[in-house]
C-alpha cells in the first residue's frame, strides 16, 4: 500500500482536472432492474444521508430498482457485527481504507471484477493509485479489487470568518510560524483562536488524528510519515511525540481553544465550527476537511460569511507545502445484478455532479462538469492542491482498523484529557504490537 | 381518625422529594420541547417564562435593493422575521464591540456609510456614494425576546425528521414482540405448573438458568442463523418477523417464569375440582386459568412492551437502518449525532418517544405494581 500512497501525488492533478472540465450535464441510463432492491449502509447522517438518498433516486428512476440508504454514527461497530453474521447491507460505505481492508480480510466483500476496475482506470485521474488503495487481501490472502472511491476530501484547511478577521485586523497567515504568532495575538486580544471538537459518537477522536497527520507532514519528511503509517517507525517514536505535543500546545492551552481544553473531547465535531458564527465570536479559526461546510449553520454563505486558508507549513523547515486528503469507499457485500449496476452507476458522472452541486464534495472523476461545483470557494481548493508539493492520504485511515479506527482515536481523546503524550503513544504502540 | 405520626410525615416528605427529583427532568424536557428553538439554544427551560437576552448577527441587504432618496443612496430592510416579538436593546457594527450603539444612535462604518436601527429591527443604511457590494454589512444585535411557545417543533419532528415514521415502526416491532411471547408463555407456564410430565423440574431449571445468559452474547449467532435462513428461502435476513422472533426468544424465559410463579399461587383445589368434573387441561386453561390470570397477563404485557419499546440494541442489530425499518430509539440516537446542536428536535423527539410508555403506565399502573410483586407473596 505504501507505493500507492506515493503515487497519489498524481491525485493533485486529478482533482484539478475535475475543476476545469467541460460544461454540460450527463444523464445516466441503466438496464431495467424493476423489482430489485439495493440497500446501502454507511456513516453518513443528515444532511449527507438526504443527498445520498437523492443520488439513489437517480438510480431508481433510471433502472426501476429500489434504493435505500441507512446511516449510523456507530457505523464502525455495527458494520463489523453485520459482516461477521453475514447480513450486511448490499453496499457498504467505508470512511476508511483500513476498515475496508479488515472487512475484506473477514471475507465480507465481493471482488468487483475487471469491468468496474477498467471504469476506474478510465474515469478517475490517477486511476491506478485509487485501485491500489482499494485492493485488499481476502480471507485466503488473495489480493482482490474490492471498492471504489466516492467522495474525496482535502483535510489541510483552516476555516474562518473574513469579517471577523477584518474587524480585528488579522491577516491570513502564510506560514506555521505566522499562524502560531496569530494564535498568540488572538489570545492576548481576548479572542479565542481555535474551535476544536473531537466528538463523533463511537468515532470520537478522529478530528485529532487529522491534526496529528497534518502536523507530522509539516514537521518531518514524507518518508517519516510513510514509516509511521506502516509502523516501520513505532508509534512512540520521539518524532510522533513531538507532533502530539505540538497539537497539545494548542488543544491543551485553555486560552487557545473555545471552552478550554476540557471541552475539546466533549464538543461534537459537527457543532465545533458554529463558534465562528456566534455573536460575539466564540473562536476565530477551525481546522477541518473540505466537507465541513455541510455542518455550518443554515444560511451562511461561502466566500461571504466564511472562507478557508491552507493550514500552512513551517517557513523554517524545508518540507514544501504538504496536503492531506482522504476519501470514502463504497464496497459490495454481494454480487447481485442491481448491486453491481449501482457500482457502475457510481462511476458515471451524474451522481458526482449531483453531489458537487450540493457542496462538500470533491471527486477525481475526469468526466464531470466542473461548473456544477456549489461555489467558487470549492473551486479555490484546486489552488491549494496545485500548490502542494506533497500529497498524503489520511494516516489513520490507512492504519489497521484496530489502530486507525480504534486506539488512535481513543488515545487522542485521552491525550486531550490530560494523559501524557508518552503514555498515549506507548499504549497505541502496544495495541499495534498485539495485532501483528 | 388516622393518627399522624412524625415518622409518617417524614416518609411522606421523603416520598415527595423523590417524586420531584424524578419528575423534574421529564418536566424540563416537556417545557423545552415547546419552546422556540432560538431561545432554547441559549437559555434553560426554567427561564421559559422570563424575557431572554439574545445576541445575533444579521447581514443587511446588498446593492440590488438600494434606492436614491434625499441625496443619499439608501438600503432599507428588516432584520427579524415577522411577529418575532424581539426588541433590540443595543447593537454594534463590529464583532469586537457588539454593544457599541443604542437605539437612535447613528452608527458610522469605516467607509462613512451610516446606519440607523429601530427596536423592531427595521434599518436604514445610507451612503453618499452608490453601494457596490452584493452583500451587505453585518449588524450585531442584542435583543430581548419575550417568552415564546410553539408546536412547530412537534410538527418538524413528526413530519420532517422522520420520527413519525419511526414511531409507527417501533409500534410494529413492540406490539407483536409482546403478544407473541405472551401467548406462548401462557401455555408454557400452565404446563410447567399444572401438568405432570417427566423432566418438568429440569425444564424449569433450564429456563431459570437461561435468564442469566446476556442477550448480547447471542446477537451474532442469531443473525448468522437468520442469514442462512434468509439465503435458503430468498427472504431478507433483517426483517420485522426476525425482530419479533428475537424479542420473543429473549423475553420468553422471564415472562414464563413470572407467569408460572403467578399460576403456582392459584389454589390447587380449583384445578382438582375441575378435573373431577371432567375438564381436560385445555378446558381448565381456557375457562379457569385465563380469566383468573388477566392481571398477571396485563403486568407481563406492560413489562415486555416497555422493554421492547425502549430497546435499542436488538432493533439496531436485527433491522436495517433505513426509514422503513428504523425504530424510534435508533432514530433518536441518529438525530443525536446529526442534529446534536438542535435541542428542539432532540427534546421533542424524546418526548414523543415517551408518550406511549407514559400512557401505558398511567392506564395500567395498578397492574404494573402487581406485576412487580408477582410471585413474591404467596397468597
**Based on the number of CB atoms within 10 Å of its own CB, is B73 exposed (0-12), middle (13-18) or buried (19 or more)?**
middle
Distance from CA of A100 to the nearest CA of B (A): 20
Residues B289, B207: Cα–Cα separation, whole Å? 21
Shared domain check, A133 and A41: yes
DSSP classification of residue B149:
B
DSSP alpha helices (H): ranges in chain B? 6-34, 37-42, 152-155, 163-194, 200-210, 219-233, 240-264, 268-276, 281-283, 290-310, 313-318, 328-338, 343-363, 365-372
Residue A296: phi and psi, rounded to 5, are: -70, 160
Comparing C-alpha atoms, which of B317, B220, B322, B207 is closest to residue B253? B207
Q: Which of B95, B237, B326 sits opposite A164 (nearest CB)?
A: B95
Residue B347: phi and psi, rounded to 5, are: -65, -40
Shared domain check, A290 and A383: no
Q: Closest chain A residue to B110 measured between Cα atoms?
A: A167
Mean pLDDT of chain A: 86
CA atoms within 13 A on the CB side of A244: 25
Shared domain check, A382 and A411: no
- Residue A3 binned pLDDT confidence (cut-offs 50, 70, 90): very low
Q: Which domain holds residue A423?
A: 157-323+396-435
pTM of the full predicted structure? Answer: 0.77
Comparing C-alpha atoms, which of B82, B83, B101, B87 is closest to residue B139? B101
Residue B96: phi and psi, rounded to 5, are: -80, -30
Q: CA separation (Å) from B9 to A195, B5, B15, B80?
A: 53, 6, 10, 54
Give A8-52 pLDDT, tens digit per residue.
544 544 454 444 444 446 788 888 888 888 999 998 887 888 899
pLDDT at A382 > cutoff 50: yes
Question: Would you call B324 helix, strand, or coil by DSSP?
Answer: coil
Task: Report CB contact under 8 Å: B316, A72.
Answer: yes
Task: Report CB contact under 8 Å: A46, B338.
Answer: yes
Residues A38, A55: Cα–Cα separation, whole Å? 13
Q: CA separation (Å) from A201 to A77, A181, A396, B232?
A: 11, 34, 17, 36
Distance from CA of A240 to the nearest CA of B (A): 31
A266 touches chain B (CB under 8 A): no
Contacts of A273 in chain B (CB under 8 A): none
Task: Report CB contact under 8 Å: B341, A270.
Answer: yes
Distance from CA of A399 to the nearest CA of B (A): 25
The pairing of beta strand B52-59 with beta strand B107-108: unpaired
Shared domain check, A257 and A378: no
**Based on the number of CB atoms within 10 Å of its own CB, is B204 exposed (0-12), middle (13-18) or buried (19 or more)?**
middle
Grid cell, residue A244, equals 502530539
Comparing C-alpha atoms, which of B223, B240, B247 is closest to residue B310? B247
Residues A289, A328: Cα–Cα separation, whole Å? 13
**Based on the number of CB atoms within 10 Å of its own CB, is A327 exposed (0-12), middle (13-18) or buried (19 or more)?**
buried
Q: Closest chain A residue to B315 measured between Cα atoms?
A: A78
Shared domain check, A210 and A150: no
Residues counted in chain B: 379
Residues A305, A74: Cα–Cα separation, whole Å? 32
Residues A77, A231: Cα–Cα separation, whole Å? 24
ipTM rounded to 2 decimals: 0.71
Shared domain check, A340 and A319: no
Residues B347, B330: Cα–Cα separation, whole Å? 15
Of A71-75, A343-347, B63-67, which one has max mean pLDDT? A343-347
Question: Would you call B182 helix, strand, or coil by DSSP?
Answer: helix
Distance from CA of A289 to the nearest CA of B (A): 17
Shared domain check, A237 and A106: no
Comparing C-alpha atoms, which of A332, A335, A364, A384 is closest to residue A130? A364
Task: Report CB contact under 8 Å: A41, B321.
Answer: yes
Residues 6 or more apart in contact with residue A274 via CB below 8 angstroms: A195, A282, A296, A297, B341
Taking only residues 335 to 354 of chain A, the set having a beta carbon closer than 8 angstroms to any beta carbon of chain B reads none
Distance from CA of B245 to the nearest CA of A (A): 17
B337 touches chain A (CB under 8 A): yes
Q: Which of B228, B316, B339 sits opposite A78 (nearest CB)?
A: B316
A279 touches chain B (CB under 8 A): yes
Shared domain check, A252 and A189: yes
A50 touches chain B (CB under 8 A): no
Task: Report CB contact under 8 Å: A268, B340.
Answer: yes
Average pLDDT, integer, range A62-87: 86
pLDDT at A370 > cutoff 80: no
Task: Report CB contact under 8 Å: B334, A71.
Answer: yes
Contacts of A50 in chain B (CB under 8 A): none
Per-residue H/E/C for chain A: CHHHHHHCCHHHHHHHHHHCCCCCCCCCCCCCCCCCEEEEEECCCCCHHHHHHHHHHHHHHHHCCEEEEEECCCHHHHHHHHHHHCCCCCEEEECCHHHHHHHHHCCCCCCCCHHHHHHHHHHECCHHHHHHHCEEECCCCCEEECEEEEEEEECCEEEECHHHHHHHCCCCCCCHHHHHHHHHHHHHCCCCCECCCCEECECCCHHHHHHHHHHHHHHCCHHHHHHHHHCCCCCCCHHHHHHHHHHHHHHCCCCCECCCHHHHHHCECCCHHHHHHCCCCCCCEEECCCCHHHHCCCCCCECCCEEEEECCCCCCCCCCCEEEEEEEEEEECCCCHHHHHHHHHHCCHHHHHHHHHHCCCECCECCCCHHHCCCHHHHHHHHHHHCCCEEEECHHHHCCHHHHHHHHHHHHHHHHCCCCHHHHHHHHHHHHHHHC
pLDDT for A124 equals 82
Task: Report CB contact under 8 Å: A201, B230.
Answer: no
Shared domain check, A338 and A213: no
Ranges of chain B with pLDDT below 50 = 378-379
Comparing C-alpha atoms, which of A163, A173, A124 is closest to residue A147? A124
Give chain A's domain count: 2
Q: Which of B98, B138, B335 sits opposite A163 (nearest CB)?
A: B138
Asked if A421 and A207 count as a contact pair (C-beta separation under 8 A), the reply is: no
Give B267-319 pLDDT, tens digit per residue.
888 888 998 999 898 999 998 888 888 888 888 888 899 999 999 999 988 88
Contacts of B320 in chain A (CB under 8 A): 39, 41, 68, 70, 89
Shared domain check, A167 and A98: no
Grid cell, residue B161, equals 425528521
Task: Report CB contact under 8 Å: B55, A279.
Answer: yes
Residues A189, B186: Cα–Cα separation, whole Å? 73
Task: Report CB contact under 8 Å: A278, B55.
Answer: yes
Task: Report CB contact under 8 Å: B338, A45.
Answer: yes
pLDDT for A25 equals 61
Chain centroid to Cα B291, Å, comes to: 35
Distance from CA of B94 to the nearest CA of A (A): 6
Contacts of B335 in chain A (CB under 8 A): 46
Question: Would you call B32 helix, strand, or coil by DSSP?
Answer: helix
Question: Would you call B164 helix, strand, or coil by DSSP?
Answer: helix
Taking only residues 26 to 85 of chain B, the set having a beta carbon closer than 8 angstroms to any beta carbon of chain A reads 55-57, 59
Q: For cell 412524625, what's the residue?
A: B6
Task: Report CB contact under 8 Å: B322, A274.
Answer: no
Distance from CA of A230 to the nearest CA of B (A): 32
Grid cell, residue A393, equals 492520504
Task: Report CB contact under 8 Å: A87, B322.
Answer: no
Give A200-255 pLDDT, tens digit per residue.
888 899 999 999 999 999 999 888 999 999 899 999 999 999 999 999 999 999 99
Which domains are present in chain B? 6-48 (no CATH), 52-145 (no CATH), 155-372 (1.10.3720.10)
CATH number at residue A227: 3.40.190.10
Sign of torsion, CA B99 B105 B106 B108? negative
Grid cell, residue A302, equals 461561502
Grid cell, residue A408, equals 488512535
Residues B30, B131: Cα–Cα separation, whole Å? 48
- Residue A178 binned pLDDT confidence (cut-offs 50, 70, 90): very high
B230 touches chain A (CB under 8 A): yes
Sign of torsion, CA B132 B133 B134 B138? negative
Residue A236: phi and psi, rounded to 5, are: -95, 25
pLDDT for B190 equals 92
- Residue A389 binned pLDDT confidence (cut-offs 50, 70, 90): confident
For chains A and B, count residue pairs whose Cβ atoms are closer than 8 Å.
Answer: 110
Q: In what order do the strands lie in the sheet with B87-92?
A: B52-59, B138-145, B87-92, B101-102
Q: Closest chain B residue to A80 measured between Cα atoms?
A: B220
Q: Closest chain A residue to B93 measured between Cα atoms?
A: A167
A305 touches chain B (CB under 8 A): yes
pLDDT for B69 equals 82
Shared domain check, A66 and A146: yes
- Residue A108 binned pLDDT confidence (cut-offs 50, 70, 90): confident
Grid cell, residue A283, equals 473562536
Interface mutation target, options B57, B107, B234, chain A, most CBs of A under 10 Å: B57
Comparing C-alpha atoms, which of B243, B248, B240 is closest to residue B181? B248
Comparing C-alpha atoms, which of A388, A383, A385, A348 is closest to residue A369? A348
Comparing C-alpha atoms, which of B58, B97, B110, B341 is closest to residue A191? B97
B365 touches chain A (CB under 8 A): no
Q: Which of B140, B226, B317 sits opposite A81 (nearest CB)?
A: B317
Residue A199: phi and psi, rounded to 5, are: -65, 135
Shared domain check, A182 and A48: no
A432 touches chain B (CB under 8 A): no
Asked if A40 and A92 count as a contact pair (C-beta separation under 8 A), the reply is: yes
Task: Report CB contact under 8 Å: A70, B59.
Answer: no
Amino acid at each position: 500500500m505504501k507505493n500507492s500512497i506515493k503515487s497519489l501525488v498524481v491525485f493533485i492533478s486529478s482533482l484539478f482536472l475535475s475543476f476545469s472540465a467541460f460544461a454540460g450535464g450527463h444523464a445516466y441510463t441503466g438496464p431495467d432492474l424493476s423489482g430489485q432492491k439495493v440497500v446501502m449502509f454507511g456513516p453518513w447522517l443528515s444532511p449527507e444521508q438526504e443527498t445520498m438518498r437523492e443520488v439513489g433516486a437517480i438510480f431508481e428512476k433510471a433502472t426501476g430498482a429500489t434504493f435505500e440508504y441507512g446511516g449510523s454514527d456507530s457505523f464502525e461497530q455495527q458494520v463489523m457485527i453485520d459482516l461477521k453474521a453475514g447480513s450486511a447491507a448490499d453496499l457498504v460505505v467505508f470512511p476508511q481504507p483500513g476498515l475496508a481492508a479488515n472487512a475484506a480480510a473477514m471475507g465480507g466483500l465481493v471482488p468487483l471484477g475487471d469491468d468496474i476496475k477498467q471504469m476506474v482506470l478510465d474515469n478517475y485521474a490517477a486511476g491506478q493509485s485509487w485501485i491500489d488503495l482499494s485492493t485488499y487481501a481476502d480471507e485466503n490472502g488473495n489480493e482482490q479489487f474490492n471498492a471504489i472511491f466516492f467522495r474525496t476530501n482535502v483535510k489541510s484547511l483552516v476555516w474562518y470568518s473574513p469579517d471577523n478577521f477584518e474587524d480585528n485586523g488579522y491577516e491570513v497567515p502564510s506560514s506555521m510560524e505566522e499562524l502560531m504568532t496569530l494564535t498568540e495575538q488572538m489570545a492576548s486580544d481576548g479572542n479565542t483562536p481555535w474551535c476544536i471538537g473531537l466528538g463523533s459518537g463511537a468515532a470520537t477522536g478522529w478530528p485529532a488524528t487529522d491534526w496529528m497527520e497534518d502536523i507530522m507532514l509539516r514537521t518531518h519528511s514524507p518518508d517519516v510519515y510513510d514509516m509511521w503509517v506502516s509502523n516501520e517507525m513505532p508509534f512512540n517514536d520521539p518524532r510522533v511525540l513531538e507532533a502530539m505535543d505540538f497539537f497539545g500546545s494548542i488543544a491543551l492551552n485553555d486560552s487557545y481553544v473555545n471552552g478550554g481544553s476540557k471541552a475539546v473531547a466533549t464538543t461534537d465535531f459537527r457543532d465545533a465550527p458554529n463558534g465562528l458564527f456566534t455573536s460575539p465570536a466564540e473562536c476565530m479559526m477551525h481546522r477541518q476537511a473540505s466537507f465541513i461546510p455541510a455542518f455550518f449553520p443554515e444560511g451562511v454563505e461561502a466566500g461571504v460569511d466564511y472562507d478557508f486558508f491552507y493550514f500552512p507549513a513551517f517557513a523554517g523547515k524545508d518540507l514544501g507545502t504538504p496536503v492531506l486528503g482522504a476519501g470514502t469507499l463504497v464496497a459490495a457485500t454481494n454480487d447481485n445484478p442491481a448491486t453491481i449496476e449501482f457500482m457502475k452507476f457510481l462511476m458515471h458522472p451524474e451522481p458526482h455532479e449531483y453531489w458537487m452541486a450540493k457542496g462538500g464534495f470533491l471527486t477525481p472523476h475526469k468526466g464531470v462538469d466542473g461548473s456544477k461545483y456549489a461555489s467558487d470557494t470549492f473551486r479555490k481548493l484546486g489552488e491549494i492542491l496545485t500548490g502542494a508539493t506533497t500529497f498524503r492520504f489520511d494516516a489513520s485511515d490507512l492504519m489497521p482498523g484496530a489502530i486507525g479506527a480504534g486506539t488512535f482515536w481513543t488515545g487522542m481523546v485521552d491525550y486531550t484529557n490530560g494523559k501524557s503524550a508518552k503514555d498515549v503513544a506507548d499504549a497505541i504502540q502496544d495495541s499495534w504490537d498485539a495485532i501483528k | 381518625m388516622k393518627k399522624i405520626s412524625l415518622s409518617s410525615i417524614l416518609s411522606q416528605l421523603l416520598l415527595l422529594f423523590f417524586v420531584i427529583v424524578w419528575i423534574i427532568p421529564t418536566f424540563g424536557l416537556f417545557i423545552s420541547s415547546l419552546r422556540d428553538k432560538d431561545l432554547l439554544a441559549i437559555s434553560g427551560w426554567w427561564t421559559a417564562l422570563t424575557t431572554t437576552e439574545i445576541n445575533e448577527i444579521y447581514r443587511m441587504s446588498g446593492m440590488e435593493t438600494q434606492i436614491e432618496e434625499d441625496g443619499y443612496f439608501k438600503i432599507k430592510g428588516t432584520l427579524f422575521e415577522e411577529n418575532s416579538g424581539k426588541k433590540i436593546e443595543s447593537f454594534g457594527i463590529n464583532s469586537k464591540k457588539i454593544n457599541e450603539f443604542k437605539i437612535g444612535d447613528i452608527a458610522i462604518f469605516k467607509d462613512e456609510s451610516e446606519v440607523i436601527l429601530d427596536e423592531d429591527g427595521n434599518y436604514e443604511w445610507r451612503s453618499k456614494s452608490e453601494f457596490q457590494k452584493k452583500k451587505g454589512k453585518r449588524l450585531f444585535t442584542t435583543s430581548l425576546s419575550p417568552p415564546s411557545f410553539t408546536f412547530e417543533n412537534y410538527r418538524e419532528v413528526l413530519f420532517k425528521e422522520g420520527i413519525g415514521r419511526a414511531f409507527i415502526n417501533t409500534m410494529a416491532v413492540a406490539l407483536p414482540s409482546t403478544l407473541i411471547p405472551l401467548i406462548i408463555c401462557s401455555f408454557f407456564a400452565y404446563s410447567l405448573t399444572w401438568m405432570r410430565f417427566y423432566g418438568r423440574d429440569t425444564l424449569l431449571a433450564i429456563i431459570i438458568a437461561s435468564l442469566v445468559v446476556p442477550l448480547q452474547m447471542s446477537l451474532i449467532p442469531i443473525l448468522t442463523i437468520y442469514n442462512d435462513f434468509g439465503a435458503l428461502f430468498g427472504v431478507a435476513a433483517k426483517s420485522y418477523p426476525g425482530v419479533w422472533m428475537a424479542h420473543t426468544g429473549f423475553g420468553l424465559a422471564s415472562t414464563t417464569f413470572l407467569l408460572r410463579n403467578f399460576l403456582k399461587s392459584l389454589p390447587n383445589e380449583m384445578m382438582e375440582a375441575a378435573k373431577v368434573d371432567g375438564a381436560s387441561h385445555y378446558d381448565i386453561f381456557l375457562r379457569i386459568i385465563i380469566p383468573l390470570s388477566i392481571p398477571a397477563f396485563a403486568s407481563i404485557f406492560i413489562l415486555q412492551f416497555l422493554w421492547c419499546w425502549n430497546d435499542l440494541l436488538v432493533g439496531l442489530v436485527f433491522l436495517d437502518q433505513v426509514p422503513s425499518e428504523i425504530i424510534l430509539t435508533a432514530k433518536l440516537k441518529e438525530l443525536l449525532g446529526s442534529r446534536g446542536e438542535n435541542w428542539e428536535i432532540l427534546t421533542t423527539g424524546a418526548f414523543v418517544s415517551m408518550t406511549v410508555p407514559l400512557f401505558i403506565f398511567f392506564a395500567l399502573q395498578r397492574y404494573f405494581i402487581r406485576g412487580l410483586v408477582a410471585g413474591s407473596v404467596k397468597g
